[in-house]
Structure 1
Amino acid sequence: MSTSPLSADTRDDELVLPPEPERPDCCNGGCAICVLDGWYEEMDAWRQECRAIKAAHAARQSAKSDASPKLAD
């Protein structure tokens, strides 16, 4: 179930939220490796990618504003 948060069905700066496992997939038996553990890892990776995209977007916006000509008063 370990899919990259930046899969083929993303566009530019858009991320697809990892789908939450169906409840029958987790037996609530305290398994050493639970499907929810994998999902939590995917969600962490998704959040990191979101932060990276926001930072890159902010940097692009800053670069655009720095490159724009300044008008004299």
Structure 2
Amino acid sequence: MIPEKADQKANRKKRGSLGGRPVSHDATLYKDRNTVERSINKIKEWRGLATRYDKTPESYAAGLHLRGSILWLRSLPTP
């Protein structure tokens, strides 16, 4: 049974999810987390790392180091 609009509003009010204060957040922590997540996504763009084609821990770690080196070299300014 699908509740009617009036029932939905009453249910939300009963649960306390109708308005209220927004959740506060630490801007510095959010900025750092965003940086880490974007870096991880750049690493995962390399298909071998995203799908774990390298089965041994040593070859996976080598791939991480190689991808990190490539990203670092690309971030350097060109002369």
Q: What TM-score do the two structures reach when normalised by structure 1?
A: 0.30
More helix by percentage = 2
- TM-score (norm. length: structure 2): 0.29
| Bigger relative contact order (CA 8 A; separation at least 6) | 1
